[in-house]
Amino acid sequence: MRKWFSFPITEGKASRQAHCDIPEDTFERECGKEGFFGPATHMYHQHAPTGWTEWEGDLRPHAFDTNKVEDVGDNPLTAPLLLSNANVKVSIWRCDTAMEYLVRNGDGDECLFIHEGSGSLFCDYGHLRFRDGDYLILPRSTNWRIEPDSPVTMLMIEATHGSYMTADRGIVGDHAVFDPAVLEYAKIDDAFIAQQQEEQSWQVYLKSRNAMNRITYPFNPLDAVGWKGNLTVFRLNWRDIRPLMSHRYHLPPSAHTTFVANGFVICTFVPRPIESDPGALKVPFYHNNDDYDEVIFYHKGEFFSRDNIHPGMVTVHPCGFPHGPHPKAFAAGAKAAKKETDEVAVMIDTRMPLDLGDAAKQTELDDYVLSWRTPPRG
């Protein structure tokens, strides 16, 4: 058995409550273990922890624009790679015509976040309509294809050799954040039966051990007439998420966890009221989060802790250095001008370091690391 050392200490000027009533003319920085779940210390600095003027080396904040990824290919299993490690692969894919083949990921569960577009998903379990803002969860080795109504752009998050599960919501119960009743699953409906009628040759592209296999059938493999059980394809839209909130305390990102997999979590930021207590921080606090890399995909709205970020962009903050709000956002939060956020974003926190794929490197904003330049206090 193991247990963290625990001996809370206060040195010098400090707040009694984290993220609230910060000592005058200081900046709070959280140094924590295991994301936001382990022991933590809150430092109070005279200067912004992100107030660097230059940066040499690769362990830096990254930002790239997925709208500029041009060659996305015609198969989601070979979509351009943005980020990866042993536990997760993040890709971007666009599709504007009906897939005339099936795909099957043998390397892990898939989470498809629909950034743009709408249409129909056909899979082993049946037919499921989708729209922008949907998460589609597909168990490992599920056969699937889509028929778009309008051009679809999706963020693909593979739980490599893992599964997607729900987060433990503790004392707030299973119906907080979102009620399981809002989840919609694939059904054997008229549309699914109709697509079975064409007796023709079908090809299935199977990705296994990161290599491609092509399997040909003389019939449509989506030929189920029924099923029972508790494993299926389902969808959750961000509009059905009702975030945990506190008007007196800025909650950490972990409060917004939507899915949990091996070695990483997916969180969803949705519109909410901004903290109204006079002493509470109104923007995310500076923090190191020394054990996790943090990724944010910006879906829509204006992200209240960032400057010059638009939908379709991705930021990556590797573990090991402080990060937090941009200077303009920090100043706006201090004035408490905004009463609510309007952003929608997908955050991926990974326990193991992430590598940038070619699609990220080719669309990176090289000066992003300098966007935190903060004039020193005179």
Is 299 marked within a binding site? no
Nearest one of 298, 282, 275, 283 to 344, comparing CA atoms: 298
C-beta separation of 87 from 350 below 8 A: yes
C-beta separation of 307 from 326 below 8 A: yes
Banded model confidence at residue 375, pLDDT cuts 50, 70, 90 = low
Q: Average pLDDT in the 51-68 region?
A: 92
Is 323 marked within a binding site? yes
Residue 188, SS3? Answer: coil
Q: Which two tokens stand for residue 41?
A: 């210390």
The strand pairing partners of 29, in sequence order, are: 43, 286
DSSP E strands: which ranges in 222-303? Answer: 234-237, 257-261, 264-269, 286-287, 293-300
Banded model confidence at residue 289, pLDDT cuts 50, 70, 90 = confident
> Which DSSP helix (H) or strand (E) runs through 98?
none
Bigger pLDDT: 208 or 333? 208
C-beta separation of 264 from 88 below 8 A: yes
C-beta separation of 58 from 71 below 8 A: no
Is 366 marked within a binding site? no
Among residues of the chain, what percentage have pLDDT more than 90?
66
Q: Which of 49-53, 251-255, 263-267 has the highest mean pLDDT?
A: 263-267
Domains for the chain: give ranges and CATH numbers. 31-44+242-371 (2.60.120.10), 71-238 (2.60.120.10)
pLDDT, the chain, mean: 91
C-beta separation of 124 from 136 below 8 A: no
pLDDT for residue 199: 73
Active site residues: 250
pLDDT tens string 116-148: 999 999 999 999 999 999 999 999 999 999 999
pLDDT for residue 67: 97
Banded model confidence at residue 7, pLDDT cuts 50, 70, 90 = confident
Q: Average pLDDT in the 153-170 region?
A: 96
Bigger pLDDT: 320 or 179? 179
Its pTM stands at 0.93
Bigger pLDDT: 159 or 290? 159
Q: Is the pLDDT of residue 336 over 70?
A: no
Give the whole-angstrom CA distance, residue 241 versus residue 154.
19
Bigger pLDDT: 201 or 322? 201
Amino acid, res. 5: F
Bigger pLDDT: 378 or 49? 49
pLDDT for residue 125: 98
CA angle 138, 68, 317 (to 5 degrees): 70
